Amino acid sequence: MSSPLPIRFLQSASRLDQLPNRQLELAVVGRSNVGKSSLINALANRKKLAKTSKTPGATQLINVYELDPEGSGNWLVDLPGYGFAKAPKAEMERWRKMIEEYLLESKTLGGVILLIDSAVGPTALDLQTIEWLDHIDLPYQFIATKEDKVRSSKRGARKNDLVEKLEVEKKDVLWVSVMTGSGIPQLRSVILDFFSN
Ligand SMILES: Nc1nc2c(ncn2[C@@H]2O[C@H](COP(=O)(O)OP(=O)(O)OP(=O)(O)O)[C@@H](O)[C@H]2O)c(=O)[nH]1
Ligand SMILES: [Mg+2]
């Protein structure tokens, strides 16, 4: 097993101008309920660092986690999810604006880890997000979440289907499960590499 990612909660914000100066950020992006906040907890090996919920819409602000040492300015950023159809329209619109402003305008944002629910596959909204990230030229790493929810007998086929729909190669998607811990050490390395460059 690898060591937990040394991160601590720094602050929440609803607008970019509320955030202090920083060096480099990696943002966690994906549908509501895809497992963004759970993944932050798994990376840090903590249960309640980031708020999670069975109900979509748990994360409603930009939540910043700073990597050691304190004041490093290296941030892992948990965002609200997109595509939560049951939220009030005005609320959804507010989240969308917040996410878009952050992704478009934070000058120190170096990349995104883009989460796709492995049991659900890329949704139309996931594909739209990918197109948009391509358009704004922001690099991303695909993460397929909740691997444990796909029966092991179906995993091979599901993986093929997913890479085909994403139009990438198998090596481009990292499969993770916070239930079994699979893929978590690899993702920790990806993140540490990102910040060490
Ligand atoms: N089985 C399984 N469930 C998971 C996994 N990861 C997350 N979940 C569950 O999925 C639900 C949503 O997780 P969150 O981490 O709150 O999802 P989120 O993407 O942060 O959601 P929002 O904040 O609403 O955008 C919770 O009930 C988690 O327990 C996983 O790897 N396996
Ligand atoms: Mg969340």
The per-residue pLDDT for range 70-113, each reduced to its tens digit, is 999 999 999 999 887 777 888 888 888 999 999 999 999 999 99
Report which protein residue has its CA nearest ligand 1's atom 30.
146
* Stated pTM of the model: 0.96
Check pocket membership of 54 for ligand 1, CB cut-off 6 A: yes
Tell me what the pLDDT averaged over the chain comes to.
Answer: 95
Burial (Cβ within 10 Å: 0-12, 13-18, ≥19) of residue 85: exposed
Q: Could you tell me how far CA 77 lies from the centroid of its own chain?
A: 8
The per-residue pLDDT for 59 is 87
CA of 3 from ligand 2 middle (Å) equals 23
The per-residue pLDDT for 101 is 94
Q: What residues does each domain of the chain span?
A: 7-196
Of 178, 190, 180, nearest in space to 47 by CA: 178
CA of 70 from ligand 1 middle (Å) equals 28
| Contact criterion met (CB below 8 Å) for 25 and 106 | yes
Residue range 109-136: mean pLDDT, rounded: 96
Which CATH number does 7-196 carry?
3.40.50.300
pLDDT band at 162 (very low <50, low <70, confident <90, very high): very high
Check pocket membership of 178 for ligand 1, CB cut-off 6 A: yes
Which atom of ligand 1 is closest in space to residue 52's alpha carbon? Answer: 16
Report which protein residue has its CA nearest ligand 1's atom 10.
35
Structure tokens at 100: 């878009």
Q: Which of 46-50, 84-88, 106-110, 155-159 has the lowest mean pLDDT?
A: 84-88
Report which protein residue has its CA nearest ligand 1's atom 21.
33
The per-residue pLDDT for 131 is 96
The per-residue pLDDT for 1 is 66
